[in-house]
Amino acid sequence: MVAKLTQGFWPAVARIILRNRILILLLVVAATVFLALQWKNIQLSNTEVNILPDDHEATINYNIFTNLFGEEGNAIVFAVRNPKLFEPENFNRWNKFSKQLDAFPEVDFVVSTDNLQVLVKDNEKQEFVIEDYIKENPTSLEEVNQLKDYLLNELPFYNGLIYNPESETIQTIAYLDKDIVNTSVRNEFILNDLRDLVRNFEAETNLDMHVSGMPYIRTWNTKSIVDEIGIFIVAALLVTSLIFFFFFRSFRATFISMCVVIIGVMWAFGILGLLQYEITILTALIPPLIIVIGIPNCIFLINKYQQEVKKHGNQALSLQRVISKIGNATLMTNITTASGFATFIILDSDLLKEFGIVASINIVGIFVLSLLIIPIIYSFMALPKTKHLRHLNKRWIDFFVNWMERMVRDHRIGVYISSVAILVLSIIGIYQIEITGSRIEDLPKNTHYFKDIRFFEEEFDGIMPMEIVVDTKRKNGAFRPATLRRMNQLGEVIEETPELSRPVSVVDLVKYSKQAFYNGIPKYYQLPTSQENTFIMDMVRKSSADGDLLESFMDSTGQTARLTTFLRDVKIDRMEEIEMDVQKAITKFFPQERYNVFMTGKALLFLKGTRYLVKNLLISLALAIGLISLFMAYLFRSFRMIIISLVPNLLPLVITAGLMGYLGIPIKPSTILVFSIAFGISVDDTIHFLAKYRQELTTHRWHIKKSVYAALRETGVSMFYTSIVLFFGFSVFIISDFGGTKALGGLVSATLLFAMLANLILLPSLLLSLERSIANKQVLKKPQIDILPKEEIKDTEDK
């Protein structure tokens, strides 16, 4: 019943399209204009997407932390490592730079040598007061050296915060207004005002300033993504147009195809704006992706049109058959490709969900555009000339088809042995794959901000914040000597971990208070003894100076304190080891009945998010395989055909995974996307081949060999054309500066190449070897949908 409906449906579609050409073109123009007007709603991603769902324990803990202490990733750091900084003119210019920073409304406050505060004891009032580190600008080298020696040798509280005592690197920290950290105001400030400020400092002092911090990295990272969109689109258009022209040798056909995919790109941006999704590292891939996926549609339609023209020379009949014969097959292949992307929609990650929605909508959209525009435009043009049809009889194409036939006919055993050997080697390679959650691994390595990340890791032991929240379950519990001692013990464990920076907490302030109590002598920078604790802590509580500083370390009730450290860029397995070690220390020092202690921070969220995402992407891949298997079952109604069709599509995925192991490419969110995307695209070739194969079986009265070779000759050329376009199209992403995008392009290209060879050689070989079990009318029942209509059978019989 369904098959009968589809037989009549597509000829009716062809009549509607060709009889309403002007109206349809006007509708396409109107839709394009409407979507172009939505471009104004496109925004850059200003927020850092949390991969974990809202009800995940790590997300809940992070929200508790931000409610108590606010946004943690709002600091931008500036540093200079050069002895010339301590020349009077440069040192004063450095302090002036801090004042200029603090004057911007986007900056909440600045911590630097310019406004550094020193804690001292007021003997008369018996309280601590704050004095300025710099009382007046130094005018001589001797004065600067005195200030430097005082900072490096007598203020251990600022060790690792403002200075590195070993390299004498000096740092300034600017805390952005928390209200603008996740808005476009942050980008405008960093890319314009801040950049000019840094450049002016460097020009006036001839000193190199290093800049980093999560807001800074996120802004420049976003700019890099946006810059690459244009490069990808131009490169994809250039590569696909050159390959298209090489195959068809027709400027007219190339121009029409480029118009189709350019309109598809305009729709892609319009849908992003219509849905008000932000441009992220994934959604930025969609426009060039539409070009790469859209060109194969054009190849199938134009190739069929030219074949029909060559056969009988009737333009109207050729266009009608292009739509009625290729429309259904192209729809099926685009639906399977869209299904591969649509599986991301079920995941809890907003990043992947938005990518899946926009990609799947636009894949269907580019199919509609191809089916409408190509026949209509050709209907207004003269018939293709003889020179435009010469590519249908190229010798090298005949050589390629003959080679495939020879491999399938004479070397099937060799094909199986090679396949099994490659499978075994690939499985060995899979066991060598690592999972990584490196936060900066995919960032562009040749950018200034990546180099500065490495600089700050070397000088200040990392930039990714990790927070430990200590809830004492009682008011002012954070001031209790037992709590301070336990936090100090935990801090020692953290400080002994090479990948973590010196922790900062209320413990450091109490130590600094004791040092101040003993007139600033550095050796007293330690926790008070039980005898000292009473009167030192009394002075801390009544000192307004300490009160201001305490706001950064604990909540207003004194019940909950924070301990802040920074993590170097490490692999996910090492990150998990660090988490376990710190968690063991927490369990050891903080009894659960008296304290509620948990770890949080962006570094930990990223660790948990990577594990969560890898797990969900594996589910997505399994779902894609399941959906497409059901789709094949619906088409062919044969379990054996499902198994046979999956083999040439799963083997390339295994080979790619093995290559990742041998080449040292880790499993991470950006690389695991490869498998769902490649599977959804590569199965298109299987559908084309099996559809033609089933048709040939009917034509050749269930003679398997004739049917396989006929299907191979008929579909081999188009499959080769489209696979080459996809291979080079996805290879465009290799030019990306982002490691994840680069890996995605290379791995998808390789997988699709393997899939083409598997579908053209392994699949026919399996059909020939298993002919007795599948080449009968009981196994290959009439499908639910005729992918290729009955007229195709008649055409084949007439040949």
Cβ count near 165 (within 10 Å) = 13
Under a CB-based contact definition with an 8 Å cutoff, are residues 349 and 613 in contact? yes
Question: If you write DSSP's letter for every residue of 749-774 in order, what string do you get?
Answer: HHHHHHHHHIIIIIHHHHHHHTHHHH
Mean of pLDDT values over 52-60: 80
Instruction: Give the distance from CA 379 to its chain's centroid.
Output: 42
**Cα–Cα distance list, 301 to 240, 310, 370, 371, 724 (Å):** 16, 14, 8, 8, 17
What is the rounded CA–CA span in Å between residue 353 and residue 627? Answer: 18
Q: Which residue has the tokens 């920290």?
A: 173
Decide if 113 contacts 86 (C-beta within 8 A).
Answer: no
Q: CB–CB of 719/681 below 8 Å?
A: no
User: What residues pair up with 210 in beta bridges, in sequence order?
Assistant: 79
Convert the pLDDT of each residue in 16-30 to its tens digit.
Answer: 888 888 999 999 999
| Closest of 603, 594, 602 to residue 471, by C-alpha | 594
User: Please, which residues have CB within 8 angstroms of residue 52's CB and are 6 or more apart in sequence?
Assistant: 58, 59, 348, 605, 608, 609, 612
Do residues 453 and 461 lie in contact, with contact meaning Cβ atoms separated by under 8 Å? no
Sheet containing strand 596-600, edge to edge, reads 560-567, 464-471, 596-600
* Integer Cα distance of 164 and 98 in angstroms: 18
Phi, psi torsion values for 530, nearest 5 degrees:
-60, -35
Q: In the numeric block, which tokens belong to residue 341? A: 């992307």
Q: Which domains does the chain have, with CATH numbers?
A: 1-41+226-392 (1.20.1640.10), 394-431+637-799 (1.20.1640.10)
Please tell me the distance from the alpha carbon of residue 110 to that of residue 60, in angstroms, as a whole number.
Answer: 30
Which residues lie below 8 Å from residue 315, measured CB to CB, with a gap of 6+? 309, 378, 379, 383
DSSP 221-282: HHHHHHHHHHHHHHHHHHHHHHHHHHHH--HHHHHHHHHHHHHHHHHHHHHHHHTT-EE-TT
CA distance 558 to 547: 11
Q: What is the mean pLDDT of residues 204-219?
A: 88
Over residues 168-196, mean pLDDT: 85
Q: How far is CA 72 from the centre of its chain?
A: 23
Strands (E), 589-653: 596-600
286 neighbors 352 (Cβ within 8 angstroms): no
Cα–Cα distance between 256 and 305 in angstroms, integer?
Answer: 13
Structure tokens at 516: 């101040």
Q: Report d(CA 286, CA 240) in Å as an integer.
A: 16
Q: In this structure, what are the phi and psi dihedrals at residue 763, rounded to the nearest 5 degrees? A: -60, -50
The whole-angstrom separation of Cα 731 and Cα 729 is 5
Yes or no: say if 748 and 678 are a contact pair by the CB < 8 Å rule: yes
- Give the tokens for residue 217: 């990295």
Beta-carbon contacts of residue 126 (< 8 Å; ≥ 6 apart): 539
What pLDDT sits at residue 660? Answer: 85
Nearest partner of 783 among 638, 685, 649, 684, judged by Cα:
638
Backbone angles phi, psi at 197, to 5 degrees: -65, -45
Instruction: Determine contact, residues 737/446, Cβ cutoff 8 Å.
Output: yes
Residue whose token pair is 């490495």: 454
Judged by DSSP in three states, 473 sits in coil
Q: Contact 436/666 with Cβ under 8 angstroms? A: yes
What residues pair up with 110 in beta bridges, in sequence order? 174
Candidates 216, 648, 575, 209; CA nearest to 408 is 648
Q: What is the DSSP letter of 592?
A: T
Alpha carbons within 13 A on the beta-carbon side of 381? 15
For residue 340, give both structure tokens: 């591969």
The pLDDT value recorded for residue 119 is 81
Token representation of residue 592: 């659960």
Question: What single-letter DSSP state applies at residue 41?
Answer: G
B/e letters for 417-441, b = 16+ CB within 10 Å, e = fewer, are: eebeebeebbeebbeebeebbbbbb
- By three-state DSSP, how is residue 208 classified? coil
Report the run of H or E that residue 97 belongs to, with start and end: helix 88-103
Q: Could you give the 3-state DSSP secondary structure of residue 174?
A: strand
Per-residue pLDDT tens over the stretch 259-297: 999 999 999 999 998 988 888 777 887 888 888 888 888
Q: CA-to-CA distance for 594 and 416, rounded, in angstroms?
A: 66
Given the DSSP bridges, would you call strands 278-279 and 43-44 parallel, antiparallel or unpaired?
A: parallel
What is the phi/psi pair of residue 193, to 5°?
-60, -50
Q: What pLDDT, on a 0 to 100 scale, did the predictor assign at position 129?
A: 77
Determine contact, residues 767/774, Cβ cutoff 8 Å: yes
Tokens of 776: 């009968």
| Percent of the chain surpassing pLDDT 90 | 14
For residue 697, the model assigns a pLDDT of 73
Q: What pTM, to 2 d.p., does this model score?
A: 0.74
The string of pLDDT tens digits covering residues 714-749 is: 777 777 877 888 888 888 888 887 777 788 888 888
E-strand ranges in 568-625 read 596-600
Give the helix ranges, DSSP H, for 496-564: 506-517, 530-542, 544-550
pLDDT band at 799 (very low <50, low <70, confident <90, very high): very low
Of the listed ranges 526-530, 732-736, 738-742, 760-764, the one predicted with least confidence? 738-742
| Average pLDDT of the segment spanning 107-130 | 81
Whether the Cβ atoms of residue 692 and residue 795 lie closer than 8 Å to each other: no
Task: Report the alpha-carbon angle 676-681-684, nearest 5.
Answer: 135
Place of tokens 């349809």: 24
Least confident of 75-89, 208-222, 340-354, 408-422: 340-354
Average pLDDT over residues 556-577: 84
Strands 117-122 and 127-132, how do they pair? antiparallel
pLDDT tens digit sequence for 674-706:
777 777 777 777 777 777 777 777 777 777 778
pLDDT tops 50 at residue 576: yes
Distance of CA 180 to the CA centre of its chain: 24
Rounded Cα distance between 509 and 564, Å, is 13
Q: What single letter denotes the amino acid at residue 290?
A: I
- In angstroms, the CA 252 to CA 380 distance is 12
**Distance in angstroms (rounded) separating the CA atoms of residues 84 and 63:** 44
DSSP state letter for 571 = -
- Distance in angstroms (rounded) separating the CA atoms of residues 564 and 553: 9
Mean pLDDT score across all residues of the chain: 81
634: Cα within 13 Å, side-chain hemisphere: 12
Per-residue pLDDT tens digits for 395-405: 666 777 788 88
Q: Per residue in 237-254, pLDDT tens?
A: 888 888 888 877 778 888
Q: Which residues have C-beta within 8 Å of that of residue 63, sequence separation ≥ 6?
A: none
Q: Beta-carbon neighbour count of residue 565 at 10 Å?
A: 27
Q: Is the confidence at residue 465, as pLDDT, over 80?
A: yes
Tens digit of each residue's pLDDT (9 = 90 or more) over 326-365:
777 778 778 878 877 887 787 777 777 888 899 899 999 9
Give the per-residue pLDDT at 284. 80
With H, G, I as helix, E, B as strand and everything else as coil, classify residue 742: helix
